[in-house]
Amino acid sequence: MNDTSAAPPAKPLKELGAADILGVMRMIPHRYPFLMIDRVIEIENDVRAVGIKNVSINEPHFQGHFPRQPIMPGVLIIEAMAQTAAVLVVETLEGAAAGKLVYFMSIDEARFRKPVFPGDQIRVEVSKVRNRGQVWKFRGEAKVGGRLMAEAAFTAMIMDD
């Protein structure tokens, strides 16, 4: 007896990609001291990516921001969002954008909720809002221990060198 009312088999979960520091460096042109992500732990092509930034007191900006109370500059947290988004673009375009420059066009709705300190690990979550040609719009959040530290919407353009 055939049971034709049975539900179809469940689709397997989509496997997410990832990139260690060497993979990140193959995808985007940034280098120390301006490489703001250490790895990308989740990449869902054309949808979202999650980057990790381990904040160290040895980073050069802490010498002046602020020596007695070092906090990570908010603009560098936004830069970490942009670099995570750039990895997402390269993966989405299957490497066609690897090494290309990504220029900010706009940063909107930036909010800095809490300071980030040396020793913190930032989880950088970015989601694609839309893209049209070489112009991509994203929404990003930076979290430490699950707490929202910063957020922004930003638009970038991918350019050849």
Q: Active-site residue numbers? A: 65
Instruction: Write the CB contacts of 52 (distance below 8 Å, at least 6 apart in sequence).
Output: 37, 38, 39, 40, 41, 121, 122, 123, 124
Instruction: Write the CB contacts of 94 (distance below 8 Å, at least 6 apart in sequence).
Output: none
Could you count the other beta carbons within 10 Å of the beta carbon of residue 91? 22
Could you count the other beta carbons within 10 Å of the beta carbon of residue 19? 22
Name the strand (E) or helix (H) holding 121: strand 121-132
Task: Tell me the two tokens of residue 3.
Answer: 């049971």
